[in-house]
Chains A and B, each alone.
Chain A
Amino acid sequence: MSYSRSRTHIATETKYSKIRREVIDDANAILPVQLKSVVSYSLITQKAIIEQRSWHNTFGRRVEWDWERDDYGYYHFLYQEPKRFELAIWWREMKLCALSLGQPTWSGSRLRLDFIESAPGDNPLKGSTFNLIEIAARIYAKHIDAHEIRLMKPVNANVIDFYCSKGYEYNSRGNFCFKVLR
């Protein structure tokens, strides 16, 4: 499949690629000492794409969907969303523990996280992946001057409760959980 991109798109992609790399570097740099030796952030690399294939049909995976889809998955964001937020979290640089995708709102004042998934099955970071993702999201939001993070369409009341326990509020009209950043 070919995608033609305008000069504006390419310029935006270049600018935000730099931001994404800085976010990864800074997120890795500020990890607590006890995590730094085993946890690392990266962009969604080819290695991450290949690793997530093992998530398919794994017991404990809540929904069978495909990160590689180019109509709604990573490749859609890669080719169509130059301002995207993208993240992979690794254990000992070998085991993929989480992926996340998002993008700024149209005005740029808010960062929405559209996709968050923890590795199903055996995941050494289970229970901590959202905290780790949120760190990187906050750094990205700082870079783009966004003052709010939105978690779009929480799937049920338990998930809403979980996010509320992390300091988010639920907006029922828009069906998202949000946190205003300092």
Chain B
Amino acid sequence: MLNLLIIYFLLAVGIFLLPKSIKLQKGVLIAVVHLAAFIWFASKIQFISAEKPIILFAHWIPELGLNIEFLLDGLSLAFALLVSGIGASVFLYAHSYMKSYDYTDKFFFFLFLFSGAMLGLVMSSNLIQLFIFWEFTTVLSFFLISFFHEKEVARKAAFQSLVITFFGGLGLLAGILLIGSVVDSYSLNDWIAGSEKIKESSLYLPGLLLILLGVFTKSAQFPFHFWLPEAMQAPAPVSAYLHSATMVKAGVFLLARLSPALGGTAEWTFIVPLFGVITMLIGSYFAITQTDLKIILAYTTINALGILVLLIGIDTRLSIKAAVLFLFIHAFYKASLFMVAGFIEKKTGTRDLNELGGLKKSFPITFGIALLALLSMAGLPPMLGFLGKELIYEAKVQSPGFGSLIFIFGVISNIFMFAVSMRLIFKVFLGKPKNSYNVSKIKNVMFVLGPGLLVLLSLIFGISPNFLGKWIIDPAMSVIYAEPVKAELKLWHGFNLVLFLSLATVAAGALLSYILIKKDWIEEKWRKINKIIFPVRFPEVFSYALEKFVAISVSKTKVMQHGYHRYYILTIILFTAALLWLQLYFTRGWHLETSITFQPFYISGLVLIIVLATLFTVLTRSRIAAIIAMGVTGYGLSLIFLYYSAVDLAITQILAETLMVVMFMLILQRLPVFARLSAKATKIRDLIVASIFGSAMTLVAIKAINVDFNNPISEYFMANSYDKAFGKNVVNVILVDFRALDTLGEVTVLVVAALGVSVLLNSKKPKT
């Protein structure tokens, strides 16, 4: 598995290096790579369906619980098959689609990496690792959506999706860390094993909410759904891929992945279906009145995502089965529909529904493909979609909790979906041709090959669903349900409540679509009413909020980053002093073991001299006097060191002080004299601040004297200095032997400082 990913990433980079003649065919080449991956995954079906996941484990940072863990089980296999299989058809399509654009290298590079990241995501079983791939897809989707970056709308849409999905990604990371702290592991296996412990923990609800935030933003659930229609600025192959098998499905995947670990609780079965239902309704409702082909499809994707989240949330055997099946159904029809939409836009120059019509004559094959795909979307036999719809109804009917409501909303949503499908068929392909288009058929083979295959699969699986059921859906279901499950799939379920519901849906949907297609004014009215009922436009709210956020940040930064050097220092000192005093207050009261004495008197005298020199340095107006007085302070300190048994220290201090004074003298003549810059009030204020800090430090120093070190490490140094390091001077032995690494660091700092000084001062004066 790891090899596969490495191959993906290497090849993606390799695109840039290909010779020109091969480069022309890069779309096909990548499609072949995806096909190979698909075959590799398909060859594992039999192995994995026997309940034997393939596991790859490698240590990364085991101390932090971070390991490289890959897992190929039923669920990830289902997703991997989708990613690689649909990837193959998308790349084949993109090969033709992208021919007329520049910078296709970049495009294929990003898209290739994107599919690699998605594969990595679905095969990860360490959640931190999964998060990394998750963010990887977010970043890459930004580049893909903003591919036409000359257009402002594209940049805006890409930015919007980036911000929203990153925001959710942060939530996801926080959630993973929270729940990970409960079981002390980020491995999926540990999460599933510790499922009970997680659910009992008080961190469960916050963790779940944060993870759901990540899932909902990624999978465009209400109220984050709006980025998806906006992201239609991407090239058609990207839309097809993002909507069908990758990106938005990542959220659904994570939900299914974590269902055994986090699912089944009251919170789960309430929150998840709730958002799923709302999203489902919003998606289908808004899909009806749109006129842009791709935006209609985007809303139907939102609907489908809502259904998937809802089904996983219901968390019964039937709903999971329906979810896995619907995943495939949706991927098949949505990918092909987007490719068809892209094709139509390319050939006709528009994707406005009102300007299209009667395309059946010009593009008969495309019409056939679209018809089958739309039938699947509408949930009509003999397509796989019919099967899915039946199962979903069944799941909803049998769902516990607020099942009846879900079920009513489900019917409404499906009526809308039916109407949307019919509207697309009639508006785009049937009716009077508004224009006629002449296209050579051979050139278009590449365009229709990908979507054609997918639709055919949808048809074949619809007629004989058991192959899909046994080999792919069963293992995936078993993983989500965390126990072996068998799913029987049939096209014909017999006469029952569900069939009746389907018939009713079709009838109502047909009526609705008839009205919509025949009476344009109703549609217009509806759109106007919508504007009144739903006055809030989410993207506008988003950009408004973002603008406000930036404005607040700017004004805050202006206050914080005023640009006055002194006030930064003042702030730092004041805060430090406040913290010190606070800590001194908390630990007030101490036992002073040493008596207050001025003996020996010469040290007291020395201290007095140092204090006087310091005061002189502060007060004098002569620079040379200030520096010499500063030198006196330093020499005085070295004498204190010398008296208290620190010989090396004293010598070093004397030499360093000498060097420092010399250097000050060297540079002094090039600096102006002290100017009297501060007012008296400022000086008094500074003195007060300095005194607060200084007095705190005095107390800290007195406290530090009485700190009792348990087992000072110096004892070890003393004991071993002569025997093991052959040195009598323990200080020197510490420097060059016991703690030589510190000294190495110190020497490095010195060298860097010296080189820095040399570069700073020896460089030419900039011409102004």
The finding on whether chains A and B are genuine partners in a shared complex, rather than unrelated, reads no
